[in-house]
Amino acid sequence: MRSNDKKNLLIVGSSLDVGGAETVIGNLCRNLDRQLFNVTVCHLKERGKIGHELADEGYDVVGIKRSDCTKTDYLTFIKLRNIVKAKKIDILHTHTLYSLVDSSLCKLTYPRVKSIHTFHFGNYPNITKKYLFMERLFMRIPNRLVAVGHMQGKSIRKTHGIPENKMVTIWNGVSHNQNPDETIIGKYSNRKKIIIGSISTFIEQKGLNYLLDAAFYLKKKRSDFIILVVGDGHLKSELVAKSRTLELEDCVIFLGRIENAAARVLPYFDIFIQTSLWEAMSIVILEAMANGKPVVATCVGDNKMMIEEGNTGFLVEPRDVDKMVSALEKLMDQKDLRENFGKEAKKKFRTEFSAAIMARRYENLYLDVLNH
């Protein structure tokens, strides 16, 4: 494609702070073919960490200037449309409800622009009625809808009555960056114990209470492990208190929120565990696979498609603490098994879940929408 045939793409999110959708936006920007697309990223609210990183790397990052009043600004779509016109945008790609609303209103009043929307929430139909109403109203406008997981897509289609030909599934993808930080984890890695690690937000969805229960039963049997929990959230005090009640302070360490944890801390883990009650398509599991780690995870979302049971990891039902303990012990007792699972996980990541592969899939979708 000649340079004068390049299409102008505007990726829109609410905030560009740390989160699953925001991570996807960052990975997408960095891996799209710049010979095909001129890429601009727009945030409707604060720029956030990922937005600042993209701007520092030279990407075109713009924000919607909001009115000074404290009330909701209902005219942000006009400001978005002004950006679309000024930059001669050919296609809009939205990732949140608010960006879907604004881009849909923009498209209705400026029909030449095409649009697609990616759903990131993974627990349909368990969402507020207001959210469902707004989503159902405005999802009619984009040219194509995208699910990040097959199970998520199935539940969205059932919830909203979306025809199959209106929605496609494009798995999330991540980049593999390693920058092990000995200052963070050195004193734990030197204990000569098996390191079981978890990285997540401390919210109900992540099921971390069950990780503590698993640690309790493991501690009754053995002392050759340590569990490092990276993250923060509103459940932190409750989780720390439960750990203290179960007398787990010597084997469960809360490291707090660590920036770029997948690059700085995850390389030290021997086993990665995720105890989520629901997911769409887990970013952190992909990061564990990219780092060549065996995974123990709950059988939610597309985990069963990402993790090959008995080949790259073990799957257990949510809240099944006994199975979690059993799976962890199998990996703890067999170093060769851990290493083989890790090698196979890395291989699968490279062939199916890299950020570059995700970007190629979105490029094909963009071009398909633009050509029709």
Query: Does residue 69 carry a pLDDT above 60?
Result: no
Alpha-carbon span 230 to 108, nearest angstrom? 44
Distances (CA, A) of 143 to 58, 117, 196, 365: 30, 8, 44, 10
Residue 320 — very low, low, confident or very high, per pLDDT cuts 50/70/90?
very high
How confident is the model over 227-249, as a mean pLDDT? 97
Please check whether residue 152 is in contact with residue 302, taking contact to mean a CB–CB distance below 8 angstroms.
Answer: yes
Query: Does residue 234 carry a pLDDT above 90?
Result: yes
Distances (CA, A) of 60 to 3, 42, 55, 71, 188: 18, 9, 6, 29, 41
Amino acid, single-letter form, for residue 220: K
Burial classification of residue 13, based on how many CB atoms lie within 10 Å of its CB (0-12 exposed, 13-18 middle, 19 or more buried):
buried
Judge if 3-175+354-371 and 182-353 fold alike in CATH terms: yes
What CATH number labels 3-175+354-371?
A: 3.40.50.2000
For 358, the enclosing helix (H) or strand (E) is helix 355-371
- pLDDT value for 3: 47
Model confidence pLDDT, tens digit, residues 322-367? 999 999 999 999 999 999 999 999 999 999 999 999 999 999 999 9
Model confidence pLDDT, tens digit, residues 35-67? 999 999 999 999 999 999 999 999 999 999 766
CATH value of 182-353 in 3.30.70.2390, 2.60.40.180, 3.40.50.2000, 3.60.15.10: 3.40.50.2000
Of the candidates 44, 53, 47, 40, which has an alpha carbon nearest to the alpha carbon of residue 16? 47
- pLDDT value for 303: 97
Length of the chain: 372
Q: What percent of the chain clears pLDDT 90, i.e. is strictly above it?
A: 89
The answer to which of 24-33, 58-67, 203-212, 240-249 has the lowest mean pLDDT is 58-67
Domain parsing of the chain, residue ranges: 3-175+354-371, 182-353
Model confidence pLDDT, tens digit, residues 282-318? 999 999 999 999 999 999 999 999 999 999 999 999 9
Distances (CA, A) of 230 to 172, 219, 275: 22, 20, 13
Model confidence pLDDT, tens digit, residues 124-164? 999 999 999 999 999 999 999 999 999 999 999 999 999 88
How confident is the model over 197-222, as a mean pLDDT? 97
Query: Does residue 70 carry a pLDDT above 80?
Result: no
- pLDDT value for 12: 98
Q: For the chain, give the mean pLDDT.
A: 94
Q: Where are the beta strands (DSSP E) in the chain?
A: 7-13, 37-43, 60-63, 91-94, 114-119, 144-147, 167-169, 194-199, 225-230, 252-256, 271-274, 295-298, 313-316
How confident is the model over 227-250, as a mean pLDDT? 97
Take residue 11 and report the two structure tokens written for it.
Answer: 């990726």
Alpha-carbon span 314 to 312, nearest angstrom? 7
- pLDDT value for 72: 62
- Say if strands 91-94 and 60-63 run parallel, antiparallel, or are unpaired: unpaired
- pLDDT value for 66: 67
DSSP result, 136-195: HHHTTSSSEEEESSHHHHHHHHHHHT--GGGEEE----B-------HHHHHHHHTT-SEE
- pLDDT value for 2: 42
Query: Does residue 1 carry a pLDDT above 50?
Result: no
pTM: 0.93
Model confidence pLDDT, tens digit, residues 162-198? 988 899 999 999 999 888 898 988 888 777 899 999 9
Alpha-carbon span 200 to 177, nearest angstrom? 18
Name beta bridge partners: 313: 295, 309
Alpha-carbon span 151 to 267, nearest angstrom? 29
